[in-house]
């Protein structure tokens, strides 16, 4: 994409001094949030890319994620007939990272790109409408760096959903931080 955003789309534009990527995020495993077992039929893959998404729906900061995840998982399995939640990680408004689909299985999508090889991160919220807060951005950066370190992903393979197909995802207020280079420069500082 060659389109450049001009000016700020939100009044709370964050910069690297607003967060501390030395702080690890709080991590909640599938077991801890009461995930049902992944359904059979998953496709194994090797991680070569990290791809950023948003939930696409307004998500109130005080919404109970531990209550939301089991019902979201149920909808994914029963209505979408997916093996599990389509993303591997979900980040809430407090920056807590939840384990979603087991990462050994390729993700799913409603759009026309092949998510095999992609570690999929979904930040809860609609970032066409909501601003991204510092906790969400900080955890996104640290999680991306951890994935790069673990799987040898290069920072030029960190992109977002809209870099692959026609979609608004991950929303302009989050995409802005990828496009400005802020996310990638912070991830680079953490890559070993
Ligand atoms: Zn997406």
Per the CB < 8 A criterion, the answer to whether 183 and 65 are in contact is no
Beta bridge partners of 119: 50
CA of 72 to the centre of ligand 1 (A): 15
CA of 37 to the centre of ligand 1 (A): 23
Q: What is the pLDDT of residue 112?
A: 87
Query: Tokens 């307004």 map to which residue?
Result: 58
Which residues fall inside 5 Å of ion ligand 1, going by CB?
53, 161, 169
CA of 107 to the centre of ligand 1 (A): 11
The fold of 21-190 is Lysozyme-like (3.40.80)
Tokens linked to 157: 């393979």
pTM higher than the cut 0.85: yes
Q: For residue 14, which phi and psi values (nearest 5 degrees)?
A: -95, 150
Q: What is the pLDDT of residue 3?
A: 52
Query: Tokens 């995930």 map to which residue?
Result: 35
Q: What is the pLDDT of residue 23?
A: 86
Domain ranges of the chain: 21-190
Per the CB < 8 A criterion, the answer to whether 120 and 87 are in contact is yes
pLDDT in tens, the chain (192 residues): 445 454 444 457 899 988 888 888 999 999 999 999 999 999 999 999 999 999 999 998 888 999 999 999 999 999 999 999 999 999 999 999 999 999 999 999 988 899 999 999 999 999 999 999 999 999 999 999 999 999 999 999 999 999 999 999 999 999 999 999 999 999 999 998
Helix (H) / strand (E) containing 78? helix 65-78
Query: Which residues are within 8 A (CB) of 4 and not within 5 positions of it... i.e. 6 or more apart?
Result: 179
Total residue length of the chain: 192
d(CA 58, CA 43): 31
């Amino acid at each position: 994409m060659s389109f450049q955003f001009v000016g700020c789309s939100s009044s709370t534009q964050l910069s690297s001094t607003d967060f501390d990527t030395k702080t690890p995020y709080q991590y909640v495993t599938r077991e801890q949030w009461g995930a049902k077992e992944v359904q059979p039929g998953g496709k194994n893959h090797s991680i070569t890319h990290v791809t950023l998404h948003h939930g696409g729906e307004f998500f109130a900061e005080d919404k109970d994620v531990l209550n939301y995840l089991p019902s979201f998982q149920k909808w994914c399995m029963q209505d979408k007939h997916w093996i599990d939640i389509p993303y591997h990680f979900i980040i809430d408004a407090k920056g807590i990272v939840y384990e979603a689909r087991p990462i050994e299985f390729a993700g799913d999508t409603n759009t026309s790109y092949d998510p095999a090889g992609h570690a999929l991160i979904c930040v809860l919220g609609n970032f066409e409408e909501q601003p991204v807060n510092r906790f969400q951005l900080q955890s996104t950066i640290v999680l991306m760096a951890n994935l790069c370190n673990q799987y040898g992903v290069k920072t030029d393979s960190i992109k977002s959903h809209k870099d692959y197909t026609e979609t608004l995802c991950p929303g302009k207020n989050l995409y802005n931080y990828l496009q400005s280079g802020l996310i990638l420069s912070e991830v680079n500082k953490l890559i070993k």
